C-alpha cells in the first residue's frame, strides 16, 4: 500500500500515518490480518523518527484497527468488533466538515453524494 | 613512449564508459529530462527540444576533445609531467561530460518556472509500506567466501613477509582484501534502500524493487569475486619468481576490463527493466527538482534519509545535507588532495638529482632524503659495471632517469638499487648479505666513489 505524507501540513505526521492506514483498511488495500511493517522498518522507509511511527501504531491499536504483539509485530485486526458508529472525535470532525459545506452554500444532496462516494470506496 | 602508449590503451576505456553511462542518463525516464521532472506534453515543446539539441552538441564536443587530447601527450618525455597530464585529463573527462548535463538541467528548471509548470508539491513524500524493511536480496553467504579468501590471503602475506623487505607489500595486498569487504558493505547499503514508488499498485513497486536489488546484488557479487581473484593473483605475483611488470599490468588491465564489462552489462539490464516497467509507472512523482543541484547532487536537509534513489544514471546517491554526505565530501577532498600530493612527489623524484658519496667512512646514497647509509667496512666484492643487469621492480621507483628500491634479477634474486639508468657506469657490491647496484649523479661521481671503495 502506498501512503502520502505532507511535511508542511498542519496535521502531525503520526496522525497522517494513522489516517492513511485507516483509509487503506477501509478501501481494502490492507486486508484483515495483514502484517504491517515493524516500527523501525516503516520509520526507515519514510525517513522519520521511530517514535513518530510508534505513536501512530499506538493510536491505531487504541482505536482498535490493529493488534500488536512482541512476536508477530503489528497486524490489521480480523474484525473490528463493530461499534457501528463513529468515535466522538470523528463525529466532531464530521460536524465541522458539514458546517463548512453548509456555509459554503453546498447543496445537501451534493454533500451526501460525496459522503456516499467515499463510503462506497 | 611504450609505457605512455600502454597507459593510453588502459585509460581510454574510461572515456567510452563515461560516454555509455551518460548516454544512458540522456534517455528521459520516469518523467525526468536531464534530472528535471516534466510531463510528456511539456517535454514535447520546442523549447525543451532546443535544450536537448544544445546538450547533444556540447556532449559531442566534449567527447571529441577528451578523445583527441591524449594523443599528443604520448610524446611527453617526462614521466611526472605525463602523470600530471593524465590526472588532469581524467578529472576534465568527468567535468566535460557533466557540464552539458548541468547546463541542460539549469535551463530546464528556469523554463519550468517561466512556463508555470512547477507544482508546489515538493514537501510530499510517497512511501510504499508493503514489505517495508523485508525486501532484501543480499544474504551473508553471497559475500562470505570472497571475504574469507581475501582476508586469508592478507593474513598469509602478513605472516609470510613479516620482517622481510617485502613486508610493506602485504599492506598493498591488505588494501585489495579490504576492497572485497567494501563491496560487501556497498551491497548491503544499496540493498537497504527504500522501495521506489513507481505505481499505485504495490505489487508492481515491490517486484520492480526486487528486480533492481537483485541486479545490484549480482553486480557486487561479481565485483567481489573479481577483486578476490586479483588479490590472490597479486600475492602469487609477489611471491613467485616471474616477470612482475608484465603480469601486474596484464592483471590490472583484465581487472579493469571485467569490472567495466560488468557495469555496462548491469546498466543494460537496468535499462531493459525500466523499459519493461515503463507502461506500469502511473505514479505522479513529487516535484523536488530544487533539492537536486544540477540534477545530480541531492541536498535536502528536511529529508532524514542519508541516501536516495539516483535521479540520473544508476543506483543511489547520498543526501549531501546529512552527515553521510558531509563524510563523502570530506573523503573526496582527501582523494583530490592525495592526487595533488602524489603528483608533486613524483615531480620531486624525477627532477631531484641523485647523489652518491662517502662521508666519515659511510657510503651515503641520497636523493630527497638519505636512502642508504652503509659503513664501508662491511662493503665487499666491489665491481664496476658498464651495463646494468635486467631486472624487475618489486617496490620503489622506476623511471627513465631514476631506479631505486628493491628489484629482482631473474634466477639470481633480489637486490637493492639506487641509480640513474641513463648513466654508463654502475657499482655493484655486497653488504650484510644484500646485493647493491648504485650510481652517482653522473659517471664521474660514480667513478670517484668506486675508486675510494676499492682502496
In a domain, B95, yes or no: no
Task: Give the per-residue pLDDT at B195.
Answer: 87
Q: Check if A101 contacts B (Cβ < 8 Å).
A: no
Q: Do B303 and A8 touch (CB under 8 A)?
A: no
**CA separation for the pair B78, B352 (Å, rounded):** 13
- Summarize the confidence of residues A62-77 as an average pLDDT: 85
Q: Check if A11 contacts B (Cβ < 8 Å).
A: no
- Summarize the confidence of residues B394-410 as an average pLDDT: 85
- Write the residue in A2, A40, A49 that is nearest to B126 by C-beta: A2
In a domain, B415, yes or no: yes
Task: Give the per-residue pLDDT at B311.
Answer: 77
More confident residue, B257 or B145: B145
Distance from CA of B86 to the nearest CA of A (A): 42
More confident residue, B58 or B241: B58
- Summarize the confidence of residues B237-247 as an average pLDDT: 65
Task: Find out whether B377 and B441 touch, Cβ atoms under 8 Å.
Answer: no
- Which whole-number Å values give the CA distances from B165 to B16, B169, B238, in the listed order? 40, 9, 12
In a domain, B392, yes or no: yes
In a domain, B64, yes or no: no
Residue of B nearest to A30 (CA): B130
Q: Check if B283 contacts A (Cβ < 8 Å).
A: yes
In a domain, B210, yes or no: no
pLDDT tens for each residue of B337-392: 998 898 888 888 888 889 999 888 899 998 887 788 999 889 899 999 999 888 88
Quick check: B184 pLDDT over 90? yes
Task: Give the per-residue pLDDT at B113.
Answer: 87
DSSP string, B112-164: HHHHT---S-TTEEEEE-TTTTT-----HHHHHHHHHHHHHHHHHHHHHTTTS
Task: Give the per-residue pLDDT at B145.
Answer: 96
- Write the residue in B125, B132, B205 that is nearest to A41 by C-beta: B132
Quick check: B123 pLDDT over 70? no
Tell me the range of A111-115, B155-159, B167-171, B180-184 where mean pLDDT is highest. Answer: B180-184
User: Which residues in chain A touch residue B280, judged by CB atoms under 8 angstroms apart?
Assistant: none
In a domain, B388, yes or no: yes
Residue A11 has φ and ψ, to the nearest 5°, of -75, 125
Number of domains in chain B: 1
Q: Check if B80 contacts A (Cβ < 8 Å).
A: no
User: Which residues in chain B touch residue A42, judged by CB atoms under 8 angstroms apart?
Assistant: 129, 132-133
In a domain, B230, yes or no: no
Q: Do B127 and A6 touch (CB under 8 A)?
A: no
Quick check: A83 pLDDT over 70? no
Residue of A nearest to B307 (CA): A47
Window from B144-158, B173-187, B402-416 with minimum mean pLDDT: B402-416
Please, what is the average pLDDT of chain B? 85
In a domain, B373, yes or no: yes
Give SS3 for B176.
Answer: helix
Distance from CA of B199 to the nearest CA of A (A): 9
Residues 6+ apart with CB under 8 A from B54: B100, B103, B104, B107
Task: Give the per-residue pLDDT at B122.
Answer: 53
- Domain with B444, as residue range(s), is 355-454
Q: Do B133 and A36 touch (CB under 8 A)?
A: no
Task: Give the per-residue pLDDT at B245.
Answer: 65
The percentage of chain A sitting over the pLDDT mark of 90, rounded to a whole number, equals 24
Window from B228-242, B263-277, B286-300 with minimum mean pLDDT: B228-242
Task: Give the per-residue pLDDT at B4.
Answer: 72
Distance from CA of A108 to the nearest CA of B (A): 32
Model confidence at B187, pLDDT cuts 50, 70, 90, reads very high
Q: Do B195 and A45 touch (CB under 8 A)?
A: yes
Tell me the Ramachandran region of residue B311: left when phi exceeds 0, alpha when psi lies from -120 to 50, beta otherwise: alpha
Task: Find out whether B285 and B31 touch, Cβ atoms under 8 Å.
Answer: yes
Q: Check if B280 contacts A (Cβ < 8 Å).
A: no
Quick check: B455 pLDDT over 60? yes
- Write the residue in A2, A3, A44 that is nearest to B133 by C-beta: A44
Count Cβ–Cβ pairs < 8 Å, chain A vs chain B.
66
User: Which residues in chain A touch residue B123, judged by CB atoms under 8 angstroms apart?
Assistant: 6-8
DSSP string, B9-73: HHHHHHHHHHHHHHHHHHS-BTTEETTEE--HHHHTSHHHHHHHHHHHHHHHHHHHHHHHTHHHH
Side-chain-side CA neighbours of residue B329 (13 Å): 12
- The answer to pTM > 0.90 is no
**CA separation for the pair B130, B133 (Å, rounded):** 9
More confident residue, B183 or B86: B183
Amino acid at each position: 500500500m502506498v501512503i502520502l505524507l505532507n511535511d508542511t501540513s498542519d496535521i502531525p505526521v503520526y496522525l497522517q500515518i494513522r489516517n492513511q492506514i485507516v483509509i487503506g483498511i477501509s478501501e481494502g488495500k490492507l486486508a484483515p490480518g495483514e502484517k504491517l511493517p515493524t516500527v523501525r522498518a516503516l520509520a526507515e522507509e519514510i525517513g522519520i523518527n521511530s517514535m513518530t511511527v510508534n505513536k501512530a501504531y499506538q493510536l491505531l491499536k487504541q482505536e482498535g484497527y490493529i493488534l500488536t504483539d512482541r512476536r508477530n509485530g503489528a497486524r490489521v485486526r480480523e474484525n473490528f468488533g463493530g461499534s457501528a458508529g463513529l468515535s466522538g472525535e470523528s463525529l466532531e470532525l464530521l460536524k465541522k466538515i458539514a458546517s463548512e459545506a453548509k456555509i459554503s452554500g453546498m447543496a445537501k444532496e451534493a454533500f451526501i453524494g460525496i459522503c456516499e462516494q467515499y463510503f462506497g470506496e | 613512449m611504450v609505457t605512455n602508449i600502454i597507459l593510453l590503451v588502459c585509460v581510454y576505456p574510461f572515456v567510452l564508459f563515461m560516454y555509455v553511462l551518460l548516454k544512458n542518463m540522456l534517455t528521459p525516464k520516469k518523467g525526468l529530462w536531464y534530472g528535471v521532472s516534466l510531463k510528456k506534453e511539456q517535454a514535447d515543446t520546442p523549447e525543451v527540444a532546443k535544450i536537448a539539441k544544445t546538450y547533444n552538441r556540447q556532449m559531442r564536443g566534449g567527447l571529441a576533445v577528451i578523445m583527441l587530447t591524449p594523443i599528443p601527450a604520448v610524446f611527453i618525455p617526462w614521466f611526472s609531467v605525463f602523470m600530471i597530464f593524465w590526472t588532469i585529463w581524467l578529472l576534465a573527462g568527468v567535468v566535460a561530460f557533466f557540464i552539458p548535463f548541468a547546463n541542460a538541467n539549469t535551463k530546464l528548471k528556469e523554463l519550468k518556472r517561466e512556463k508555470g509548470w512547477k507544482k508546489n508539491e515538493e514537501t510530499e513524500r510517497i512511501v510504499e509500506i508493503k514489505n517495508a524493511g523485508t525486501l532484501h536480496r543480499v544474504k551473508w553467504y553471497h559475500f562470505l567466501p570472497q571475504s574469507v579468501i581475501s582476508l586469508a590471503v592478507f593474513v598469509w602475506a602478513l605472516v609470510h613477509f613479516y620482517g622481510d623487505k617485502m613486508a610493506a607489500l602485504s599492506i598493498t595486498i591488505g588494501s585489495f582484501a579490504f576492497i572485497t569487504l567494501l563491496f560487501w558493505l556497498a551491497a548491503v547499503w544499496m540493498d537497504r534502500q527504500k522501495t521506489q514508488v513507481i505505481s499505485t499498485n504495490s505489487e508492481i513497486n515491490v517486484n520492480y524493487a526486487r528486480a533492481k536489488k537483485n541486479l545490484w546484488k549480482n553486480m557486487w557479487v561479481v565485483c567481489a569475486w573479481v577483486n578476490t581473484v586479483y588479490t590472490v593473483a597479486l600475492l602469487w605475483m609477489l611471491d613467485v619468481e616471474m616477470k612482475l611488470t608484465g603480469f601486474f599490468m596484464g592483471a590490472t588491465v583484465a581487472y579493469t576490463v571485467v569490472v567495466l564489462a560488468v557495469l555496462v552489462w548491469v546498466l543494460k539490464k537496468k535499462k531493459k527493466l525500466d523499459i519493461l516497467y515503463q507502461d506500469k509507472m502511473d505514479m505522479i512523482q513529487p516535484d523536488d527538482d530544487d533539492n537536486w543541484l544540477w540534477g545530480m547532487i541531492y541536498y535536502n536537509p528536511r529529508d532524514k534519509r542519508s541516501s536516495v534513489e539516483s535521479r540520473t544514471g544508476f543506483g543511489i546517491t547520498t543526501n549531501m545535507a546529512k552527515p553521510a554526505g558531509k563524510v563523502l565530501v570530506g573523503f573526496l577532498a582527501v582523494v583530490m588532495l592525495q592526487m595533488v600530493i602524489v603528483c608533486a612527489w613524483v615531480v620531486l623524484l624525477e627532477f631531484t638529482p641523485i647523489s652518491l658519496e662517502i662521508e666519515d667512512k659511510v657510503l651515503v646514497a641520497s636523493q630527497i632524503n638519505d636512502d642508504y647509509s652503509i659503513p664501508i667496512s662491511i662493503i665487499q666484492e666491489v665491481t664496476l659495471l658498464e651495463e646494468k643487469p635486467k631486472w624487475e621492480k618489486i617496490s620503489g621507483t622506476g623511471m627513465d632517469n631514476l631506479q631505486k628500491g628493491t628489484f629482482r634479477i631473474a634466477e639470481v634474486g633480489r637486490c637493492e638499487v639506487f641509480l640513474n639508468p641513463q648513466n654508463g657506469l654502475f657499482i655493484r657490491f655486497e653488504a650484510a648479505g644484500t646485493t647493491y647496484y648504485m650510481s652517482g649523479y653522473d659517471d664521474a661521481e660514480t667513478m670517484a666513489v668506486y675508486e675510494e671503495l676499492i682502496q
